[in-house]
Amino acid sequence: MTAAQESFYIQQFKLGDTSSFQVLYQHYHKPILRYGKSLFPQYEDDVKDAFQDIFISLWKAKERLTVDQTLDFYLKRSIKNHMIRILQKKLKYDPIPHGNEADYVTFGDESNALSNLIESEVMTQKEKIYLQKLNQLTKRQRFLFTERFINEKSVEEIMKEQNLARQTVYNMIHRSINILKEA
């Protein structure tokens, strides 16, 4: 499906066209389930349920849907968030196993998988903030910061290559760091 076709189906779906909804469902069914199963391989049935729930919610809130071009990112984010909520509920309400050590290890693995996923999501958010802050730097500040910390060049090397005074290099890098610290 081309982007233009998808955009057309989304617009028609937002107007209540059930056949467009069906086309979008069929188009995204396999790739989103595959994506969900790759994130949560032990919870295949829950991923399927989450996918169904997401499309039911989409239908109910079609008038408020703000996506116009493609649902790919929206659905991937939704399946991940929905699965996190499902697993949090499971961990909250499933009793801690007593007596059977194998069950306890499995419970711990589920908790670790959820913790890892949440940590990954937090890192993604931090990366977005960092990139936004990095884009606030001037071109020169970004270049000097990259040369110093990414390419691991010394201040002396940067001075010589850019024909700048030592204090200028220090000041620009220091300002860059301060902007990035605000994140």
pLDDT tens digit string along 26-76? 888 888 888 888 877 788 888 888 888 888 888 888 777 776 666 777 788
- State the average pLDDT over residues 95-103: 48
Q: What pLDDT is stored for residue 107 in this prediction? A: 45
Report the candidate in 56, 51, 39, 59 with the shortest Cα–Cα distance to residue 75: 51
Q: Is 113:88 a contact under the CB 8 Å cutoff?
A: no
For residue 56, what is the DSSP state?
A: H
Contact 103, 97 (CB under 8 A): yes
Q: Which residues neighbour 156 within 8 Å (Cβ) at sequence distance 6 or greater? A: 166
Q: What is the DSSP letter of 146?
A: I
In terms of pTM, does the model score above 0.85?
Answer: no
Task: Report how far residue 67's alpha carbon sits from residue 61's, in angstroms, rounded to the nearest whole number.
Answer: 12
Question: Residue 2's closest CA among 56, 30, 13, 10?
Answer: 10
| pLDDT exceeds cutoff 80 at 182 | no
Sort 95 into a burial class: Cβ within 10 Å, 0-12 / 13-18 / 19+: exposed
For residue 167, pLDDT over 90 is answered with yes
**Residue 101 pLDDT more than 50?**
no
**Mean pLDDT of the region 154-176:** 91
pLDDT in tens, 103-143: 444 444 455 666 666 667 766 776 777 777 778 888 888 88
Sign of CA dihedral 46, 48, 50, 56: negative
Whether the pLDDT of residue 165 is over 50: the answer is yes
Q: For residues 119 and 62, what is the distance between their CA atoms, to the nearest angstrom?
A: 31
Which residue has tokens 């001037």?
138
CA distance 43 to 110: 10
pLDDT of 96 above 60: no
